[in-house]
Chains A and B, each alone.
Chain A
């Protein structure tokens, strides 16, 4: 029997709108970004860790965080990458950079953009500072990026 058949394919597309609720904790985090250009964490009443971005609970102690604490806007660069491969889902054109940043006063780190794409100008452990977007909407992108402090 001849196994060869003309190959048929069908084109599809998943294009479905969603509305995600940020929830009480992240909503307040976003309002603080938008209205006061402040980055907020929440402290665990048991282990005293300040969790950033703010979370409802401490995953280790498994209790609700209670105290709101302002952190940064300066911090330390834990690690970074510069993305060169272009993708549809990128919010900005490659090359651009991501960093994991431990903000001053925080016990966890946050992931965000870096405003520097020259690999020779980025170093683990360097100090960076948050820069806020001019037009802020109550969103993680209200932080434009973190830039090295020279």
Chain B
């Protein structure tokens, strides 16, 4: 295929439990400035801007308005996605594919430290049938986890291995918030939060921001000696109500990934992809998502992890950055996956570089239990 949209600049902050030493706009200014420097462009070169953030996590409403100046939007068109940053990239692509923009900035930011993450996530649920039950991202995730693990006979220890892998690999990622050698026993001994999810199975609560610069085919070739191209992209949504979804069937992710693979001409993702960055807020999700994206058969996510297929040095390393277990600012996570995928394809992954990576997958989700799913394939 002939790719139409290039990623010509990327930047991310270090993820931290509390970035309260600087204001949100100070964080965002640095990350936008760095993405422009990476792309070799200035504010004047930007035709349009897309931001991604969620109001309650920002502690105000229409919260993107505080970002207008600092994302370079003055006297330019800007739109905002109240959801995952990888979803915002779809908006940026559309502006370019419509011919309305040659160069587009996509920025996502979140500060989990400002409020109570799980309490805020309770407000995601509809107020009529679900919110007053007290559901949140943790308890909803636990319902999905227990269903998945029962259906495919996955043990808590097998989920714990995801945590061990990701925390270990996060040590190679200078942007990680949590990174260390951990053991399965340590994960198993961490406090039970919502059966079967334990404290260490959950991504930390994080502050951070991320930015990328997209360019049209023409500008991508003109501005970059070796642009990274978006080869495939797919997005798909499932229902909101938890009882009216097949929580383990994962049709939304199957469809999103199949769309992305078809665009990129990929038939066997395990063989044809070199690295995947996956948005898993809980350990079980990395296993479930890798199955749904066709890296293995259903119920085999834990098996391929155990065999080292998804580890560094394996056939298809998943989350060399440590993934969301290493840092999890809401909405930033999916865009971070794309930044990591681009760095891998550029060969700039440093200690976490997968040798010879040419095609990388980035995955993002929005809502609870992966209600919204986004998949992108990037390559040279």
Contacts and interface: CB of A to CB of B under 8 A. Distances in A.
Interface of A: 7, 9, 12, 14, 18, 20, 22-23, 26, 51-53, 59, 78-85, 87-92, 98, 100-101, 108-113, 119, 124, 139-141
A133 B204 CA distance: 37
B243 A111 contact: yes
B139 A81 contact: yes
Interface of B: 20-21, 56, 59, 116, 118-119, 122, 127-130, 132-136, 138-139, 142-147, 150, 191-197, 239, 241-244, 247
Contacts of B197: 81
A111 B135 contact: yes
A80 B243 contact: no
A101 B130 CA distance: 14
B245 to A, nearest CB: 9
A17 B241 CA distance: 24
B133 A53 contact: no
B195 A7 contact: no
A111 B247 contact: no
Contacts of A92: 134
13 contacts: A7-B21, A20-B128, A52-B243, A81-B146, A81-B196, A82-B195, A84-B192, A91-B134, A98-B133, A100-B243, A124-B147, A124-B150, A141-B133
A48 to B, nearest CB: 16
A120 to B, nearest CB: 11
Given A12-B59, A81-B146, A82-B194, A111 B119 contact: no
A59 B134 CA distance: 25
B154 to A, nearest CB: 13
Contacts of A9: 20
Nearest to B123: A89
B139 A110 contact: no
A81 B244 contact: no
A100 B134 contact: no
Contacts of B145: 81
A148 to B, nearest CB: 16
A115 to B, nearest CB: 14
A80 B243 CA distance: 12
B147 A119 contact: no
Contacts of B150: 79, 124
Contacts of A89: 118-119, 122, 134, 136
Contacts of A109: 243-244
Contact of A87 (B128, B136, B247): B136
A26 B126 CA distance: 12
